[in-house]
Amino acid sequence: MATVLLERIGLALITMIIIVVVVFFALELMPGDACSVNLGRGASDSMLAACQKRLGLDQPAVWRFAAWAGDFLTGDLGISMQRDRPIAEVVGWRLRNTLILAGLTAAIGIPLALGLGVLAGLNPDGPLDMTISGIAIFAMTVPEFISGTLMILLFSVILGWAAGVVTIGYKAPALDLLKASVLPAATLIFILAAHILRMVRASVIEVMQSDFVQMARLKGVPHRRIILHHVLPNALLPAISIIGLTMAWLLGGVVIVESVFNFPGLGRLAVDAVADQDLPLVQAIALLFGFIYVLTNLGADLLALTLNPRLRTRRK
Amino acid sequence: MTPSVPMLKVENLQVGGDGFLVVDKVSFTIGQGESFGIAGESGSGKSTLLLSLMGMMRPGLRNLGGSVRLNGSPMLGQSDAALASVRGSKIALIPQNPATALNPSRRIGTQIAEALLLHSALNPRARAMRVLDLLSMVRLPEPTVAARRFPHELSGGQLQRAAIAMALAGAPEVLLLDEPTTGLDVTTQAALLDLLIDLRHRSKVGMVCVSHDLGVLARLCDRIGVMYAGAIIEEGPLASVLARPGHPYTQALVASIPRLTSVGPPAPIQGSPPSLFDLPSGCRFAPRCALVQDACLGQPPDLTSAADNHKIACLRAFTAPAPVVNASVAALEKATSVLAVEKLSVGFAKHGIFDRKTPSSVVDAVSFTVAKGEVLGLVGESGSGKSTILRAIAGLAAPTAGQITLMSSGRTEILAARATARPLSQLRSVQLIFQNPDASLNPRHRVLELLAQPLILYGQVPRSQLREKAADLLDQVRLGPATLDRMPAQLSGGERQRVAIARAFAARPDLILCDEITTALDVSVQAAVLELIRNLARKHDVGAIFVSHDLAVVRSIADRIAVLHNGTIVEINDAQELCARPVSPYAQRLIGSVLDIPA
Ligand code: SF4
């Protein structure tokens, strides 16, 4: 058990190191550097040299990488070129906002997906399953910017329940942001729940047909108890890693959904940073996304590991 | 047998679906302490019959007639809820495969306690005590430890014991056993059977035991019925049915069992059972029966009494000559060796931080030779190293010491340790046939393509002749040319294994390695495959190593047998001699635990 744990954590660390290296050198490979991009075509050689000296760009790449990675580890994310402020400050608030959005999505989406998936799986091909699965397949096939737009159309334009676009600033109090998160979260839940519930449904159906469920029935175990004690524990275990993967995968969705709703989160900041060609900021956000991805998966892995006896206890 | 009040009464039971019957007009009764065995091959309907005794129908099947009564109350047509109080308490099942029948995420003790919770009035403390009682009753070592284990932490034999304890928890009056010892080592099998026999004598429980293995039924039951294509075609007291089988199918079945006391491969049953959707209108065995006559084709013959309690559904019962088990064995000329294994040791490399742990099975300084046309049997329990030796010869596991020499067509060469380092000629010389043809045959290739690969690679057969050569190979394994265009999934398990054999011989090898190749097959099919391997080895002067955990099977095919235990050969001798007069204590124990049918 301990070795498996260490192994997973070690692998996650290695992945993160690779991400750091790739992110740094991928931008390094692009033509020009932060200064030439920032100062534009008209910049004179002396202005460029001064800027490069200020940012340390005249040093060899490997040396700069060491310095940059070192700063990064100590929490110094560098300075945003366009915004001329510490990246940590720019990113920090947005990260909070995105976490609020993601938290709301997960808190509602995951239980909803599990419940619906189990319901659908227990009565496969019944009217309930048909409805749930039909909507889920629709949600999975429609791209986020369309489902987001549809949400705005339905809830804000037609029904007038919520504002379609978020107007508050990125430093707004958490509670206001939570309110503003409702529609974007609904869009994300729509997609997230669809993916998870399809998996849960398939897994419930599979377990229902397993030998040990038939055996439980032959043992005289009542239906309710079969579902609670034999089907659910085994059907939901594989869902944990799927939830982890889907949450991590949702990062891509966050970028689009935040843009659609003008939500002041990390995703929209990423889009803005790319548009502004703010290279240090792009680097920092890419790193953050990479780390969140790895850590979410690691978390799901560890959780699955502790809950699943087959993984927890290796056969002697 | 003293007549007693029947506890379980099955009358004219018919189970099937739209347009087909899986169980047809089956009747029998079980009284207190009685034990009824049902013999049949896979697809004969025996498992469906067993499930319907508990009122359970597989999806797509339903009760089409007849009845099952337990202590007078009906078991069929009841809801699961209505049957919940009977299942597990009055009638309990010991499943065929406890590895899948036990809930993987709950502890053994919890699962047994659940049966107690449902079917007894014990409080939690008393339940915990009773679980330990039950576990020690089925002779699981360290019951307290076993109760805390999850299913995947126990071995196959231990799991089966746990499943028996679970079945006994509700103190059932009738116990149903579905292939209770299939897939276990011979010694484990023997120990489990002892346990069941003991159980039967100590309690008054009635038993219905279903198995394809007549040897198991012979030890557990006092009456047996033989099932063929859904119907019981012969039924009677054990001794009478086995000693004087009257139905041609029973005769063939009895003859197809490998025995320690007979020489040569057992006689296979020709043909295959009829499709359930297309049952012959008359006797269902007619298409395979040597004694068939016009009267057989009218309608299925009824079970009629032939002797004391011995009923047979055949118009010409007992007319067949007594089954001839012995095939003549040509004297094995002492040919030169094709393979010499010297001081072979295999151990597994130490694992690094990120390596998965491999269960290590170690082979220690093993030496033997195989002659041309000779079949050498390697027998031992799982973990004895027999498969590792095969893998080392095939180049799939690197030896840590020793050498393997191949002598063929005038060349003598030492085989490279790794298959990847071997030249094409060495790869061609040694062919491996796996236990599970499903895993070794690419499911997306037609049989023609499967056979074409080795023909092109090793035989340099031009494209224009591929079809002809492949058909020729199939003919040698007794498959028609129509098989060439089939996909593996369209073939039966026995047919797939034949294709795998044909593919091995396509390379024109000097040595073939057979790894438990008949384990997944029915007895009658198994007999045919054994005969095939032996004949092909003789005909092509190919040496063969046949690995199996089943001594009776090895005995029926091998010229010589090596008995393996903990990675060393404890005894190697002429097959007949070894079975008749084993010298080493381990071989004696192994032979003692083989289930031979009392003749
Ligand atoms: S009834 Fe006829 S066909 Fe059927 S087994 Fe007897 S002899 Fe053969």
Q: How far is the CA of B296 from the centre of ligand 1 (A)?
A: 6
Which residues from A are below 8 Å from B355, CB to CB? none
pLDDT tens column, A186-225: 888 988 899 899 999 999 999 998 889 999 999 889 999 9
Euclidean distance between CA atoms B381 and B362, whole angstroms: 13
Q: Is residue A137 part of a domain?
A: yes
Statement to judge: residues B160 and B182 lie in one domain: no
Statement to judge: residues A103 and A28 lie in one domain: no
Amino acid at A3: T
CATH number for the domain that contains residue B279: 3.40.50.300
Q: Using the 3D structure, point to which of A14, A48, A78 is the last residue of a domain.
A: A78
Structure tokens at B44: 């004969």
Euclidean distance between CA atoms B305 and B236, whole angstroms: 9
- B546 and B558 Cβ atoms separated by less than 8 Å: yes
- A108 and A189 Cβ atoms separated by less than 8 Å: yes
Statement to judge: residues B74 and B161 lie in one domain: no
Statement to judge: residues A153 and A11 lie in one domain: no
Residues touching ligand 1 (Cβ under 6 Å) are B 247-248, 283, 285-286, 289, 291-292, 296, 301, 314-316
Please tell me which of the candidates B84, B101, B150 has its beta carbon nearest to residue A220.
Answer: B84
CA distances from B585 to A296, B278, B424, B576 (A): 58, 52, 43, 17
Statement to judge: residues A60 and A182 lie in one domain: no
**HSE (side-chain half, CA atoms, 13 Å) at B151:** 20
Statement to judge: residues A16 and A164 lie in one domain: no
- Domain residues for the domain of B460 are 337-592
Amino acid at A80: S
- Domain residues for the domain of A49 are 2-78
Q: Is residue B289 part of a domain?
A: yes
Statement to judge: residues B441 and B493 lie in one domain: yes
CA distances from A263 to A88, A182, A219, A270 (A): 19, 11, 55, 12
Q: Which of B284, B288, B316 to mutate to test the pocket of ligand 1 (most atoms within 8 A of CB)?
A: B316
Q: Is residue B501 part of a domain?
A: yes
- B558 and B218 Cβ atoms separated by less than 8 Å: no
What is the structure's pLDDT at B209?
93
Structure tokens at B428: 């061609």
Statement to judge: residues A163 and A296 lie in one domain: yes
Domain count, chain B: 3
Q: What is the CA radius of gyration of chain B?
A: 26
DSSP assignment of B550-583 equals: -HHHHHHH-SEEEEEETTEEEEEEEHHHHHHS--
Statement to judge: residues B244 and B139 lie in one domain: no
Closest CA–CA distance from residue B85 to any residue of chain A (Å): 6
Structure tokens at A161: 């329940």
Interacting residues of B369 by C-beta distance below 8 A, sequence separation 6+: B337, B339, B340, B341
Three-state secondary structure call for residue B547: strand
**Residue nearest to ligand 1 atom 6, measured at CA:** B314
- B310 and B226 Cβ atoms separated by less than 8 Å: no
- B107 and B152 Cβ atoms separated by less than 8 Å: no
Which of these, B335, B340, B339, B342, lies nearest to B367 by C-alpha position? B342
- B493 and B410 Cβ atoms separated by less than 8 Å: no
Reported pTM = 0.66
Structure tokens at A312: 């927890």
Q: Is residue A253 part of a domain?
A: yes
Statement to judge: residues B105 and B64 lie in one domain: no
Q: Is residue B200 part of a domain?
A: yes
Q: Nearest residue on chain A to B111, judged by CA atoms? A: A216
Statement to judge: residues B355 and B449 lie in one domain: yes
Statement to judge: residues A237 and A128 lie in one domain: yes
Statement to judge: residues B72 and B189 lie in one domain: yes
Q: Using the 3D structure, point to which of B108, B139, B171 is the last residue of a domain.
A: B171
Closest CA–CA distance from residue B99 to any residue of chain A (Å): 9
Statement to judge: residues A239 and A295 lie in one domain: yes
Closest CA–CA distance from residue A243 to any residue of chain B (Å): 20
Q: Is residue A135 part of a domain?
A: yes
Note whether B153 contacts A: Cβ–Cβ < 8 A. Answer: yes
In chain A, what are the helix, strand and coil shares in percent, each to the nearest 5?
80, 0, 20
- B185 and B157 Cβ atoms separated by less than 8 Å: yes
Which residues from A are below 8 Å from B357, CB to CB? 314
Which phi-psi region, left, alpha or beta, contains residue B140 (left: φ > 0; alpha: ψ -120 to 50)? beta
Q: Is residue B85 part of a domain?
A: no
The yes/no answer to whether this complex scores an ipTM above 0.85 is no
CA dihedral A187, A193, A195, A197 (to 10 degrees): -160
Euclidean distance between CA atoms B564 and B587, whole angstroms: 9
Statement to judge: residues B399 and B373 lie in one domain: yes
Q: Is residue A83 part of a domain?
A: no
Which residues from A are below 8 Å from B83, CB to CB? 220
Supply the DSSP symbol for B420: G
Statement to judge: residues A41 and A131 lie in one domain: no
Supply the DSSP symbol for B268: P
Burial of B502 (0-12, 13-18, 19+ CB in 10 A): buried
CA dihedral A24, A28, A33, A34 (to 10 degrees): -10
Statement to judge: residues B442 and B526 lie in one domain: yes
Q: What is the CA radius of gyration of chain A?
A: 24
Supply the DSSP symbol for B415: P
Q: How far is the CA of B285 from the centre of ligand 1 (A)?
A: 6
- B567 and B389 Cβ atoms separated by less than 8 Å: no
Q: How far is the CA of B314 from the centre of ligand 1 (A)?
A: 5
Q: Which of B279, B281, B289, B299 to mutate to test the pocket of ligand 1 (most atoms within 8 A of CB)?
A: B289
Q: Tally DSSP H helices, then E strands, for chain B.
A: 21, 22
What is the structure's pLDDT at B344?
85
Three-class secondary structure assignment of B219-267: HHCCEEEEEECCEEEEEEEHHHHHHCCCCHHHHHHHHCCCCCCCCCCCC
Which residues does residue B209 pair with via DSSP β-bridges, in sequence order?
B37, B177
Supply the DSSP symbol for B544: E
Statement to judge: residues B413 and B490 lie in one domain: yes
Statement to judge: residues A60 and A205 lie in one domain: no
Written as tens digits, the pLDDT of chain B (599 aa) is 444 567 899 999 999 888 888 898 899 999 888 899 999 887 788 888 999 999 988 888 889 888 999 988 899 988 888 888 899 899 999 998 888 899 988 999 999 999 999 988 888 999 999 999 999 888 888 889 889 988 888 888 889 889 999 999 988 999 999 988 877 777 777 788 888 888 888 888 899 999 888 878 888 888 999 999 889 999 998 888 888 888 888 888 887 766 655 555 556 676 777 777 778 888 888 888 878 888 888 888 888 887 778 888 888 777 655 443 332 222 223 336 788 888 888 876 544 444 444 445 578 888 888 888 889 999 988 778 888 888 889 888 888 888 888 877 667 788 888 888 888 888 888 888 888 777 778 888 888 888 888 888 887 778 888 888 888 888 888 888 888 888 888 888 888 888 888 888 888 888 999 988 888 777 777 888 888 888 888 888 888 999 988 888 888 888 889 888 888 888 888 888 888 878 788 888 888 776 565 54
Torsional sign, CA A226, A232, A237, A239: positive
Q: Is residue B86 part of a domain?
A: no
Which of these, A262, A248, A238, A100, lies nearest to A166 by C-alpha position? A262
Torsional sign, CA B289, B293, B294, B299: negative
Statement to judge: residues B74 and B117 lie in one domain: no
Statement to judge: residues A192 and A277 lie in one domain: yes
Statement to judge: residues A137 and A203 lie in one domain: yes
Which residues from A are below 8 Å from B54, CB to CB? 218
Which residues from A are below 8 Å from B97, CB to CB? 211
Statement to judge: residues B280 and B405 lie in one domain: no
Note whether A162 contacts B: Cβ–Cβ < 8 A. Answer: no
Q: Nearest residue on chain B to A219, judged by CA atoms? A: B88
Closest CA–CA distance from residue A103 to any residue of chain B (Å): 30
What is the structure's pLDDT at B2?
45
Structure tokens at B40: 């049949």
Q: Using the 3D structure, point to which of A49, A78, A107 is the last residue of a domain.
A: A78
Residues composing chain B = 599
Q: Using the 3D structure, point to which of B323, B358, B387 is the last residue of a domain.
A: B323
Amino acid at B166: M
Q: Using the 3D structure, point to which of B123, B156, B171 is the last residue of a domain.
A: B171
Q: Is residue A29 part of a domain?
A: yes
What is the structure's pLDDT at B353?
45
Q: Is residue A196 part of a domain?
A: yes
Q: Is residue B597 part of a domain?
A: no
What is the structure's pLDDT at B45?
85
Statement to judge: residues A58 and A97 lie in one domain: no
Euclidean distance between CA atoms B39 and B42, whole angstroms: 10
A315 vs A242, higher pLDDT = A242
- Counting from 1 in the atom list of ligand 1, the atom nearest the Cα of B315 is 1
CATH number for the domain that contains residue A271: 1.10.3720.10
Which residues from B are below 8 Å from A7, CB to CB? 353-354
Note whether B360 contacts A: Cβ–Cβ < 8 A. Answer: no
Mean pLDDT of A47-72: 76
Three-state secondary structure call for residue B211: strand
Top mean-pLDDT range of A81-90, A243-252, B28-37? B28-37
Beta-strand relationship, B6-17 and B20-31: antiparallel
For an interface test with B, the pick among A15, A212, A231 (most B C-beta atoms closer than 10 Å) comes out as A212
For an interface test with A, the pick among B48, B79, B105 (most A C-beta atoms closer than 10 Å) comes out as B105
Please tell me which of the candidates B87, B104, B153 has its beta carbon nearest to residue A219.
Answer: B87
Q: Is residue B391 part of a domain?
A: yes
Q: Which of B296, B299, B303 to mutate to test the pocket of ligand 1 (most atoms within 8 A of CB)?
A: B296
Q: Is residue B143 part of a domain?
A: yes
Note whether B2 contacts A: Cβ–Cβ < 8 A. Answer: no
Which residues does residue B375 pair with via DSSP β-bridges, in sequence order?
B544
Q: Is residue A19 part of a domain?
A: yes
Domain count, chain A: 2
Q: For chain A, how far is it from start to end, CA to CA, in angstroms?
A: 12
Q: Is residue A49 part of a domain?
A: yes
Contacts 24+ apart (CB under 8 A), A22-30: A23/A283, A23/A286, A23/A287, A23/A290, A24/A65, A24/A68, A24/A69, A24/A283, A25/A61, A25/A65, A27/A279, A27/A282, A27/A283, A28/A61
